[in-house]
Chain A
């Protein structure tokens, strides 16, 4: 059973009131949510506070979730909202390069998880979060677009730009393309 189907079934069981399914669902997503928040905020104690806030909001809204298949993007949307509340001052909504065509480049070849994780901290928030969602949590482009509340085309262009920035960052640190 893939992630989407597993989540959908657990969500519906939890909505019915099955605490074990709810615990299982939380168990699957507890660490990913924390890691997402942690990488976006770069402070472990703050990540604890914010991720607890994320779960409080998610559990309260869970009975009203109409499309259980969309649990992951829905959860990360809540997480993102909480993170952005903490980053509001630094976060720039403007995305002047949106629309830049996405394309395959040689960066993908060197994007393994360890390198991405190591280099993420050096990227701006916009680029960091799209890489986290797409590469670390394997969300689809459509799911990333839902979480980030932007069109799929913008996700592609942001990913394109993020990978270039990551490549530059990694080359600076001595990785080869």
Chain B
């Protein structure tokens, strides 16, 4: 039997590059942060907004949510290796912190102390969750590095 596969190993590994994953993460987290912040802005608006403005806000929320959904779907279909997990967790921490600052700023300008507390609490909770994910990702990577050193030492 001299026949062989019609595709090569490169075809299998293609699509797993680090810049592509980071790009997806940035797009997804950025979309999510934008959707949440604009949603909050819309929800806390004391006076009625003009119809066009409301439509524009809703469209932006839709676009942000769509990017977040697409990035989540695309990343879930691909393996997330240790270094990817660490990068993803760092990005999540950064975007959570950024989103918290944005939400609290909006709340300070447009809502009372209860609103500030509510969005501040939500932001802090998200940042804490992201930080826990970061700690776990770093621990996982450290364990793998130790395993790699052990294997390299054993096998020269």
Query: A residues touching B (Cβ–Cβ < 8 Å)?
Result: 1, 5, 8-9, 12-17, 19, 22-23, 26-27, 30-31, 34-35, 38-39, 44-45, 47-48, 51-52, 55, 59-63, 68, 117
Q: Is the CB of B80 within 8 A of A51?
A: no
In the complex, the chain A residue whose C-beta lies closest to that of B81 is A17
Q: Is the CB of B141 within 8 A of A16?
A: yes
Q: Quick check: which of B44-52, B89-97, B109-117, B147-155 contacts chain A, the rest being far away?
A: B147-155
Q: Is the CB of A34 within 8 A of B5?
A: yes
Known interface pairs A9-B151, A12-B148, A17-B18; A117-B5 also in contact (CB < 8 Å): no
Q: Is the CB of B148 within 8 A of A31?
A: no
Known interface pairs A5-B155, A47-B5; A13-B13 also in contact (CB < 8 Å): no
Query: B residues touching A (Cβ–Cβ < 8 Å)?
Result: 1, 3-10, 12-13, 16-18, 77-84, 141, 144-145, 147-148, 151-152, 154-156
Question: Would you give the shortest CB distance from B32 to chain A, in whole angstroms?
Answer: 23
Checking B6, B12, B80, B151 against A26 with a beta-carbon cut-off of 8 angstroms, the contacting residue is: B12
Q: Is the CB of B3 within 8 A of A9?
A: no
Which of chain A's residues have a CB closer than 8 A to the CB of B10?
Answer: 23
Q: What would 7 A/B residue contacts be, using CB atoms closer than 8 Å?
A: A16-B144, A16-B145, A19-B13, A23-B9, A31-B4, A44-B6, A59-B12
In the complex, the chain B residue whose C-beta lies closest to that of A47 is B5
> How many Cβ-Cβ contacts under 8 Å join chain A to chain B?
82
Q: Is the CB of A14 within 8 A of B7?
A: no
Checking A12, A16, A23, A68 against B83 with a beta-carbon cut-off of 8 angstroms, the contacting residue is: A16
Question: Would you give the shortest CB distance from A16 to chain B, in whole angstroms?
Answer: 5
Known interface pairs A23-B9, A48-B7; A12-B147 also in contact (CB < 8 Å): yes
Give Cα A34–Cα B6 distance, bound, in whole angstroms: 10
Give Cα A8–Cα B17 distance, bound, in whole angstroms: 22
Known interface pairs A14-B81, A17-B82; A22-B18 also in contact (CB < 8 Å): no
Beyond A16-B81, A68-B147, 4 additional contacts (C-beta under 8 Å) are A9-B155, A15-B82, A30-B9, A52-B12
Give Cα A44–Cα B6 distance, bound, in whole angstroms: 9
Q: Is the CB of B144 within 8 A of A15?
A: yes
Q: Is the CB of A16 within 8 A of B82?
A: yes
Checking B80, B81, B83, B152 against A9 with a beta-carbon cut-off of 8 angstroms, the contacting residue is: B152
